Every structure is written in C-alpha cells, then in structure tokens.
Amino acid sequence: MDQLLYASEVVVNGLMTGVMYALVALGFVLIYKASGVFNYAQGVLALFAALTLIGIQQGQVPFAHLISAVTGMHLDSFGWTVPSLLAILLTALVMVGLAILIEALVLKHLVGQEPIILFMATIGLAYFLEGLGDLMWGASVKSLDVGLPQGLSETVETMTDSLFGYGFFIDRLDIWATVIAAVLVASLVAFSQYTKQGRAMRAVADDHQAALSVGISLRFIWVMVWSIAGFVALVAGIMWGTKSGVQFSLSLIALKALPVLMLGGFTSIPGAIVGGLIIGVGEKLFEFYIGPMVGGATENWFAYVLALLFLVFRPQGLFGERIIERV
Amino acid sequence: MMPQTQQAATGAEPYITPDGRKIGGVLMDLRNITLRFGGVTAIKDISFDIREGEIRAIIGPNGAGKSSMMNVMSGFYVPQEGEVWFRGERRPQMRPYKVARLGLARTFQNIALFDGMSVLDNIMTGRLTMVKSSLLEQALWWGRAEAEENRHREQVEKIIDFLEIQNIRKTPVGRLPYGLKKRVELARALAAEPKLLMLDEPMAGMNVEEKEDMSRFILDVNDEFGTTIALIEHDMGVVMDLSDRVVVMDYGRKIGDGTPDEVRNNQEVIDAYLGVAHD
C-alpha cells in the first residue's frame, strides 16, 4: 500500500515535470507548424526572454559592459525596479520586436529555400542570441522571481495526509506551471483552429504560393508566429528560470524538448502536451522502479531511449500528421 | 452576325453575346508589358484587355510566355516595362497577396493546394481575408464570429455543390487524384468571389472526360455568377469552344488577338502552331 502511494506521488510529480517539458516543446511545434522549420534557437529564445525579464525588472542598463568599455561611463542600473507584471508585458514586447528583426534580417532573405537551410539559419540565430543576451544583460547567474509561489504545497500535503494517511510532496510552482500551461495551450489551440490568423498560419505552413494566392501575407504570418514562439519561450523561461535560476544552461532545456517532440509529433500542439506528460511520468516511474536496480540516474537517458523506440515504430509520433506519399 | 460580334469585341461598348451573356467595359487592361529574366525576354511589349463578363483565353505553344503573363497579372512577377490597369485605375506595383485582396483569384499550372487540409478547409481559405469579426470573437466563438462563419460556410457549400465535389468534402486534399485537385483549386478561387478569375492551364494533364467536365464548369461559372475569366491553355481546340476572345502568344510576342474565328484564320497563328519552314 505504501509502495502504491509512493508511486502515485511519483506519477503526480512526473505529470508536473511533464508540463514543464511540454511548455518548451510547444514553442518548437508552433514554428514547425507554420514554416516546417525545426527552430534550434527555441531554447536560447527562452534564455534570452528570461534574461531580458530580469534585466527589465531590476532596472539593469542594457549593454552596460559595452557602454563602459566604449565611453568609460559606469552605468549598471537605472536605479528603479519594475513591477513583475509590467516587466513581463515589456519583455513580451521585446520578443515581438525580436520577431520583427528576425523576419527582416534573416527569414525574408531565405524565402523559398529548403528547410535545411532555414534550420542552419536558426543554429546561427541561436549562437547570435546567446551572445546578444550576454552582451546586453551580463553573463552572471541570476535568480528570477516574478512572485510565483514556490516550495511545498501544504494544502496538498494536509489533504492527501487526511485522505491516505500519507502527505504528498508537491511543489507549488509545479501546480502553477500546470495551470499556466493549460491556459496557454487552450488559447493556442483556439487561436490556430478558429481564428483567421491561425488558419492563415496553417495555410502558410502548407504552401507558400497557395497562401499568397488567397491573399495571405507571408511576412505578417512569420512575424506573428515568431512573436508567439517568443511569448511561449518567455513563459517557459519564467517557469524554468524560477525553478533553477537563469544561466546559460537554461537554453539546454531545448534538448529535453526533442524526445517530447518525437513522441508527440512535430506538428501537434496536443501531441506536445501528451508527449511531455508521458516522458515526465515515464522517467520518474522508471527511476522509481528500475533506477535502484541499475544504479540510478536513469532520468538522463530514459527520454531519449523512449524517443528512439518511437522513431522505429511510429516515426510521425503519436499525433503527428500521417506521412502520405502518392507515387 | 459575324461582323457585329467582331465589331463589338473590339469596341468598348457593352454588348450581348449571341448566347445571351452580357459583356461589359474593360476590367483589366495590360499596356505594353515587357518582362525580362536577366538576358531572356519572356514577354515583349504585349498589350491586351479583358472585359467584364467575358472568357478571355491566352494561348500559344509551350514556352510562349503565357504563364509569365498570368504571373504579371496576378502580381507574382513585376514587369520591367508597361502598366497594369484594373477597374479603370493603374495598379501600382504590389505584392501578390495584395493583388489577391483586390479581387483577383487564380489557380496554378502545377496545382498549389494545402495538402494537409481537407477539401472543405482548402476552399474556406479562399474566404479568409473576408473575415471581419475580431480575433477574440473568433477564438471564443462569440459575438459576430458564429454568424459570420456560418455565412462563409453557406457560400462554400454552394460552390461545393456547384462543382459536384460533395462526396470528397472531408477528404485530405493530398489523397485526391489530379483531376479532382484541379477542381478543388477552382473551388477555392471561386470562394473568394473574384472579380477576375485566372486559370493557368485548367485542363493540362486531364483525360477527355475530365476536360469536358472542366469546360462545362468554366462555362457555368461564367454564366451563373457572371465571373470574368482569363485562362491559359495550349490546347487550341478546347479554347476555341470556350472563349469569347483569344490572345495568341509565341516567343513572348503577341501574334494574334480576336474572336476564335478570327484567330483560327490568322496566318501567323497557323504558322506558330503548325510550324513553318523558314527559307
């Protein structure tokens, strides 16, 4: 009985971790759906968003090092702090600006190129953004606090304690992440299924010429998609940054999104969620049951092995579009 | 009857065709269009007009520059010289999606459909730019959104019935055979309620039966909706039965322009099609 209770606690925690993975995977799916491009820069986008958010919040002067190196002036801080909500809003605007720049400086010049070329461009973009983030906001490790509650949720503990005689340990941040992710996903699905901009986005993903011929502006759609991906990156950056601090390694969460995408399919928003949940629960349960037998630390590789198995038996993922070839 | 048609076709006065359709004033006027790709001149100083309500064909052998001409008309190519006039105004240089919003719908020689979407969704995209309700209303299915969606849906269903593709409404377009894809593309263009419908080789690669079907649809569209149609074809036989007036192109030049009968008897046209020995 105790074993079962432990296991269910593991499952619940796994689900919450899964939500965090799904948050990252979502950004990939959005851009892949709209342009058929695997956006290597998505993880760095989350890092950049988190850095910008902290910078704005704390009233940091952007490019402070550069300014002092060039002019000799030492401007570290404007001397004010910005309330979290306003700072998030401003960061979202910065991400929209970034999307406009990416479209104008990179994508516009690559219209009609093979997806692999665009993929290479996103690799370049990733390194550029990483450097830009350092240059703008400094390379030190920072902590992010936008007022999201953290730590043991006592409500859940006392509730489960009185129900099962065993208190579940659940981080309040994880609960919030779940709620926020649910709202985000619901609005993204509603947007892409029911609005004209969302439908235009799907059209652009499918065929550029056809999209133009029905009056859709490719450039507008691209800016829009990258803005949304930037916003999703911001949400992921807030969640992961609050959890484990903002530093370069934040951009590596992108690697955790890969197996999620292979499981869920690159083109499906629900797929990203379900894939994230399966991997979150799977790796926690595997670690709980099998981990002790093989010396632990299975969480590092379990997701990738699961993804490999999927690649063999269902390459399009759980929810991906069937690959139809007419010969 | 012949002289009368001939005279009406060249003048700007509205007239009634022998089969009772009304042909109005000039809808699109192409003036001295020249299009070059590097050193190659694809279109050489071509002028012609398209009148409201007519079916206007552009024909010519392969490589004559027909598709380039249609790309100029739809804004996909920008000519080096010449002017495009539409509804009495000179059309400034604009991107293809803006041209589409002016009321010019087109199909493509190599079919450009959204393969991942169903037939119905494909056709609905033709009406995307007409959607008026706000983003929030659409996302929440609230306010004007529902009534508007239903209205668009009704129009699209009419077109589906008209083109007799009811039984494939929900089929993903990627799975359809070639002939049906062509028909879906026509449906999507029609959904936009275009002022000018441009068809790039609507019958290319079709068998006789499919060609007959497509000819019938083109005539019916023109007849029932009064849609002005410009179409490209290299099969002369089909075109002659369909169109009110024909432009003939060869090596980027215009070598004939007039009613099918006039064009058929034009020596230069005959030479271009049959080939002629140059000595």
pLDDT in the model for residue A193: 84
User: Both B79 and B126 in a single domain?
Assistant: no
| B88-141 pLDDT per residue, tens | 999 998 999 999 999 999 999 989 999 889 999 999 999 988 888 888 888 887
Does residue B92 sit in the same domain as residue B214? yes
Specify the pLDDT at position B29.
95
The pLDDT value recorded for residue B2 is 40
Give the model's pLDDT for residue B3. Answer: 40
In order of A50, A60, A239, B51, the CA distances from A244 in angstroms are 12, 21, 9, 68
Whose tokens are 């079962």? That residue is A4
Structural domain includes residue B230 = yes
What is the per-residue pLDDT for B199?
96
Task: List the single residue in A216, A218, A324 with the smallest CB-CB distance to B128.
Answer: A216
- Give CA–CA dist A267/A261, Å, rounded: 9
B51 domain residue, yes or no:
yes
Provide the shortest C-alpha distance from residue B116 to chain A (in Å).
7
pLDDT number for residue B11? 52
Cβ contact, residue pair A212, B174, below 8 Å: no
Is B66 within a domain? Answer: yes
Which of B159, B193, B227 terminates a domain? The answer is B193
Q: Which of B6-10, B89-93, B238-242 has the least mean pLDDT?
A: B6-10
CB-based contact B128 A187, cutoff 8 Å:
no
The secondary structure element, H or E, covering residue A124 is helix A115-137
Contacts of A203 in chain B (CB under 8 A): 114, 117, 125, 128
Which two structure tokens, joined as six digits, stand for B48?
Answer: 């012609």
In a domain, B279, yes or no: no
In Å, how far are A36, A60, A154, A198, A237 from B47, measured between CA atoms?
Answer: 41, 63, 80, 40, 59
Long-range contacts of A282-289 (CB under 8 A, 24+ apart): A282/A14, A282/A306, A283/A14, A283/A17, A284/A10, A284/A11, A284/A13, A284/A14, A284/A17, A285/A7, A285/A10, A285/A11, A285/A14, A288/A6, A288/A7, A288/A10, A289/A7
Residue A88 is predicted with a pLDDT of: 95
> Does the beta-carbon distance from B112 to A209 stay under 8 Å?
yes
Torsions phi, psi for B35 (to 5 deg):
-130, 125
Closest-CA residue of A relative to B136 is: A195
ipTM score for this prediction: 0.85
| pLDDT of B37 | 92
Tell me what the mean pLDDT of segment B147-156 comes to.
91
Q: Are residues B200 and B83 in the same domain?
A: yes
More confident residue, B214 or A159: B214
Are B204 and B146 contained in the same domain?
Answer: no
Distance from CA of A189 to the nearest CA of B (A): 9
Higher pLDDT, B21 or A112: B21
Burial tier of B39 (Cβ tally within 10 Å: 0-12, 13-18, 19+): exposed
Structural domains in chain B (count): 2
Q: Say if B108 falls within a structural domain.
A: no
Q: Does some domain include residue B44?
A: yes
Q: Between these two residues, A1 and B56, which has the higher pLDDT value?
A: B56
Flag whether pLDDT at B4 surpasses 60: no
Number of A–B residue contacts, CB under 8 Å:
92
- Residue B105 has a pLDDT of 95
**What was the pLDDT predicted at A323?**
59
A116 touches chain B (CB under 8 A): no
Q: Average pLDDT of chain B? A: 88
Domain that holds residue B154: 116-193
* Chain A partners within 8 Å of B175 (Cβ): 324, 326
**Shared-domain flag, residues B171 and B88:** no
Cβ atoms of residues A113 and A208 within 8 Å: no
Q: Which of B233, B203, B118, B232 is nearest to B165 (CA)?
A: B118
pLDDT (0 to 100) of residue B13: 79
B contacts of A207 (beta carbons < 8 Å) = 112-115
Asked whether the beta carbons of residue B138 and residue A202 sit closer than 8 angstroms, the reply is: no
B37 and B71 in one domain? yes
Q: Look at residue B9 in the predicted model and tell me its pLDDT.
A: 42
**Could you say which of B157, B173, B193 is where a domain stops?**
B193
Last residue of a domain, one of B175, B193, B211: B193
Query: Cβ–Cβ contacts within 10 Å for residue B89, how many?
Result: 9
Token digits for A146?
A: 């936008």
Same domain, B13 and B98: yes
* Residues whose CB falls within 8 Å of the CB of residue A240, separated by 6 or more in sequence, listed in order: A20, A24, A46, A50, A250, A253
pLDDT at B134: 80
d(CA B207, CA A257): 49
**In chain B, pLDDT over 90 holds for what percent of residues?**
62
CB contact under 8 A, A202 and B117: yes
Q: Are residues B239 and B168 in the same domain?
A: no
Query: Does residue B241 sit within a domain?
Result: yes
CATH number reported for the structural domain that contains residue B36 in this entry: 3.40.50.300
For residue A321, the model assigns a pLDDT of 65
Strands (E), A116-188: none
Token pair for residue A48?
């950049």
**Across the strands, what pairs with B230?**
B56, B198
Q: What fold characterizes domain A2-313?
A: ABC transporter involved in vitamin B12 uptake, BtuC (1.10.3470)
A196: which chain B residues are within 8 Å (Cβ-Cβ)?
128-129, 131, 138
- Cβ–Cβ gap B139/A190 under 8 Å: yes
Please indicate, yes or no, whether residues B87 and B125 belong to a single structural domain of this protein.
no
> Looking at the domain assignment, is residue B111 inside a domain?
no
**In this structure, are B29 and B165 located in the same domain?**
no
What are the CA-CA distances from residue B195 to residues A86, B67, B91, B101 (Å)?
48, 20, 15, 10
Please check whether residues B35 and B96 belong to one and the same domain. Answer: yes
Count CB neighbours of B80 within 10 A. Answer: 12
Report CB contact under 8 Å: B112, A197: no
Residue-wise DSSP of A17-73: HHHHHHHHHHHHHHHHHHHS---TTHHHHHHHHHHHHHHHHTTBPTTHHHHHHHH--
**Is residue B97 domain-shared with residue B202, that is, in the same domain?**
yes
Rounded to 5 degrees, φ, ψ at A86 are -65, -40
pLDDT digits (tens, 9 = 90+) for B154-176: 999 999 999 999 999 999 999 99
Residue of A nearest to B193 (CA): A214
Structure tokens at A111: 């219209």
10-residue averages of pLDDT along chain A (327 residues): 84 89 88 82 93 92 85 80 93 96 90 84 94 90 86 83 82 89 88 88 87 92 92 92 87 83 86 91 92 86 90 82 57
